[in-house]
Amino acid sequence: MPDIIQLLPDSIANQIAAGEVVQRPASAVKELMENAIDAKATHIQLIVKDAGKSLIQVIDNGTGMSATDARMSLERHATSKIRKAEDLFTLRSMGFRGEALASIAAVAQVEIKTRLATEELGTCLVVEASEVKAQEPVATEPGTRISVRNLFYNIPARRNFLKSTPVELRHIIDEFQRLALAHPSVGFMMAHGDEVLIDVPPARLGQRIVSLFGKSYQQQLAPALEQTALVRIHGYIGRPEAARKTRGEQFLFVNQRFIRSHYLHHAVMTAFEGLLPAGSFPFYVLFIDIDPRHIDVNVHPTKTEIKFDDERAVFAVMLSAVRQALGKHNLAPVIDFSNDVNLSSKLAHQTVDTRTYFEERFGTLSQGKTQPGTQPWEQLLEHEGAKNIQPAEETRQQAVLLESKVNQAGSPVSATGEAFFQLHARFILCAVKNGLMIIDQQRAHERVLYEKYMHQWKGTPGASQQSLFPQTLTLGVADFTLLLEMHQELEQMGFRLEVFGKNTVLIRGLPAGASVGERELVEGLLEQFKTNQAEWQIPMRENLARALAKRMGIKAGQALQLGEMKALVANLWSSSNPNFSPDGSPTFFTFDTSKIETYFTR
C-alpha cells in the first residue's frame, strides 16, 4: 500500500493557520494594532473601508523594522519576543506567536512600508497569498504602515460567511475600543472611509472612558483599587442604577491584555448582588496586574483566554476590590454605627405618627368603639382593598359587549359581556363562558403593537408625531453606528431622525402614540434591540418590532379606563396569535368554573 501521509504546501498550511487567527476583519485589526503597540507607538491610526473587506490600514509611529526584519515578519512562527521556552512564562507583550502577519498575508493582498528612525530609507514589501511580489527601498515616515486589501479574496467561501458591513464594522469598533482602553497613554484614531469615528488623545483612564463612551459616564464612574502580594486590581466600576440589560460594557484586562473570564465576571456580579435589577449588567473596566509567571496566556489562538495558577485568590481580591469601591463611594447600603441605634425610641416615635395618621383619616378610637362621625375598621379594609380592584363606573349601568374573535364560533373562549376589572393595575379580569379570564395587560399590548409594526413593513409607513422642540442625543460610537444601520427601518416605523454632528442625532419625531420622551425612547429601543440580538437570531425588522413593542407597550402599574381595556382586549383577539406575547410568554390565563367550584366544595 503506498504512503498516503504527506506534508502540506506552505500556502495551504498558512491558510489553515489564518482560519484560527483571522476569523473576520476585526481579527486582522486586532493583530495589526497589537503589533503597533508592541513597537512602542505613541499614536496609532486605523483606516478601514467597507468594514475592512476592501481595506484595513494601520499606521503607527513605532520603532519600525529593518529590511531583513520586514521580510522575516511574514514567515510563520517568526517573532522577536521569544528566544527560549522559558520566555513563554515571562511574556508582557501583546503578540508573541509570530503568526499574525503570515496568516493575514495568506488570505489577502498586503503592503508593508516600514522604516527605522535611524535610517534614511525604509522598505516596501508587496505580498499576495503568501507570495512576495516585490521588495524595494522606499521613502516613508519612521514607523510602520500596513495595508491589507481584499481580505479572503482567494477563499471565496470564507468571504461569503462575512456579515453585513454594519455588523463587521461594529466588531472592528469593539476591538478598537478594547485596545484604546487597555492603553490610555497611546493616542488612537479610527476612520471608516472618509469619516473619522473615534479620535482620542493620550489621557488618563477615566478620561479615556469618557472619550470613548460619552459624557454621561462621567458621573457614574467609581474608582476601584485593591493590592496584595499576588495581584493588583485597579480601574473603574459603574453605579448600579446605570446598569444595562445587555452585556458588552464589561472589560477585564490582565497585564493590559483583554480577556474573557466567566469566573472573574462572577466575582464582580457577586459584589453587586442585591444592588442590580434582575437581568442587568454593570459597567466596569478593571485591570489585573500580575506576575506573568502566575498565568498562562498561550491557551487560545486569539489570546482572549488565560489560566491563573491560583484563580481562587484572584477571585477573592476582585470581589474585595469591587465591594470596597461600592461601599467607599456610597453606591451600596452600609450600616452607620454613629447613628442612634435605640430602636425602642424610634418605634415609640413611629407609633405616635401611625396613630396620628389613622385619627386624621378615620377618627379616634376609645375602648374599642368608634367615636361619632368616624368610620368603622371594616370600612378601612374596604377602602384599602378598593385600590387593588377597580371596576369601571360604566359597568354599573350596563353590560359590556365585545365585538371581537372571542364571540366567534370555534374560539377557545367567549366573553359573556360582563364587567371588566383591573387588578393591581396589572391584570384585566373579565368573565367568559367557561370561567374567569385573567389578561396580562403588558404582554397583551406588546402582542398588539408587535403585529402593528410588522404590518407596517408591508404597507403604509407608520404615522409620526412631530416634536415641538427636537431633542439631540449623543451616543457611543457603536450605538451610533447601529442607529445608522437601522435608520431606514426606523423611518418606516415613524421615527424622524437626522445626523447632527459626530455621534449625535436630532430627534424630530416619534411613532404616533409614544408616551415617553424622545431620548428615553431611542436609548431604550437601542438597548432592547441589543438585548434581543443577544438572545435570539432573528431578522433586523422583527427584532425592531419586538424592541419597539416592548418599549411602547403599556406597563404593569398603569391604570386603565374601561374603554382602554375594551380596546386592548378586542385588539388582542384580532391578532394572529393572541395566546402569546412576541417573546413567547402567555398573555392570558382562564380560570375554569369547575376549578373555582373545587375551592367551595366541602
Give pLDDT, residue 351: 40
Kindly tell me if the per-residue pLDDT of 421 is higher than 90. Answer: no
Kindly tell me if the per-residue pLDDT of 157 is higher than 50. Answer: yes
Kindly tell me if the per-residue pLDDT of 226 is higher than 80. Answer: yes
Residues whose CB falls within 8 Å of the CB of residue 571, separated by 6 or more in sequence, listed in order: 448
Kindly tell me if the per-residue pLDDT of 399 is higher than 90. Answer: no
Dmax (CA) for the chain in angstroms is 113
Give pLDDT, residue 602: 61
Asked if 536 and 579 sit in the same domain, the reply is yes
The residue with greater pLDDT, 348 or 292, is 292
Measured between alpha carbons, how far is 115 from 138 in angstroms, rounded to an integer?
A: 9
Boundary of a domain, candidates 339, 365, 386: 386
Asked if 259 and 168 sit in the same domain, the reply is no
Domain interval for residue 443: 388-602
Q: ∠ at Cα 95 (89, 100), nearest 5°?
A: 135
Helix residue ranges per DSSP H, 227-309: 262-271
Average model confidence (pLDDT) for the chain?
79
Per-residue confidence band for 348, with pLDDT thresholds at 50, 70 and 90: very low
> Which CATH number do you get for residue 426?
3.30.1370.100
- Domain presence at residue 217: yes
Asked if 197 and 212 sit in the same domain, the reply is no
Give the long-range contacts of residues 587-591, CB within 8 A, separation 24 or more: 587/439, 587/440, 587/443, 587/444, 587/447, 588/437, 588/438, 588/439, 588/440, 588/444, 589/437, 589/438, 590/412, 590/413, 590/432, 590/434, 590/435, 590/436, 590/437, 590/438, 591/435, 591/436, 591/437, 591/438
Range of lowest pLDDT (15-24, 175-184, 185-194): 15-24
Kindly tell me if the per-residue pLDDT of 225 is higher than 90. Answer: yes
Boundary of a domain, candidates 279, 301, 328: 328
Tens of pLDDT along 233-283?
Answer: 999 999 888 888 777 789 999 999 898 888 999 999 999 988 887 778 899
Asked if 191 and 226 sit in the same domain, the reply is no
- Domain presence at residue 226: yes
Beta bridge mates, 478? none
Measured between alpha carbons, how far is 226 from 233 in angstroms, rounded to an integer?
A: 5
> Which CATH number do you get for residue 239?
3.30.230.10
Asked if 185 and 253 sit in the same domain, the reply is no
Give pLDDT, residue 342: 39
Tens of pLDDT along 21-62?
Answer: 788 899 999 999 998 998 899 999 999 999 999 999 999 999
Asked if 154 and 80 sit in the same domain, the reply is yes
Asked if 32 and 149 sit in the same domain, the reply is yes
Kindly tell me if the per-residue pLDDT of 188 is higher than 90. Answer: yes
**CA torsion through residues 483, 484, 490, 496, sign:** positive
Name which of 128, 122, 158 is nearest 27 in CA terms: 158
Kindly tell me if the per-residue pLDDT of 558 is higher than 70. Answer: yes
Range of lowest pLDDT (191-195, 251-255, 474-478): 474-478
Measured between alpha carbons, how far is 244 from 236 in angstroms, rounded to an integer?
A: 16
Asked if 247 and 108 sit in the same domain, the reply is no
Sort strands 496-499 and 415-423 into parallel, antiparallel or unpaired.
Answer: unpaired
Measured between alpha carbons, how far is 268 from 320 in angstroms, rounded to an integer?
A: 9
Of the ranges 70-74, 120-124, 289-293, 451-455, which is most confident? 120-124
Asked if 395 and 531 sit in the same domain, the reply is yes
Kindly tell me if the per-residue pLDDT of 73 is higher than 50. Answer: yes
- Domain presence at residue 64: yes
Domain count, the chain: 4
Asked if 392 and 382 sit in the same domain, the reply is no
- Domain presence at residue 128: yes
Asked if 197 and 293 sit in the same domain, the reply is no
> Which CATH number do you get for residue 74?
3.30.565.10
Give the mean model confidence (pLDDT) for residues 59-85. 79
Give pLDDT, residue 339: 40
Boundary of a domain, candidates 151, 171, 202: 202
- Domain presence at residue 1: no
Q: What is the 3-state secondary structure (H, E, C) of 493-554?
A: HCCEEEECCCCEEEEEEEECCCCCCHHHHHHHHHHHHHHHHHHCCCCHHHHHHHHHHHHHCC
Per-residue confidence band for 182, with pLDDT thresholds at 50, 70 and 90: very high
- Domain presence at residue 437: yes
Give pLDDT, residue 340: 39
Give pLDDT, residue 288: 93
The residue with greater pLDDT, 473 or 374, is 473
Per-residue confidence band for 434, with pLDDT thresholds at 50, 70 and 90: confident
- Domain presence at residue 342: no
Tens of pLDDT along 508-540?
Answer: 988 888 877 888 888 888 888 888 877 777 888
Asked if 247 and 362 sit in the same domain, the reply is no
- Domain presence at residue 2: no
Give pLDDT, residue 15: 64
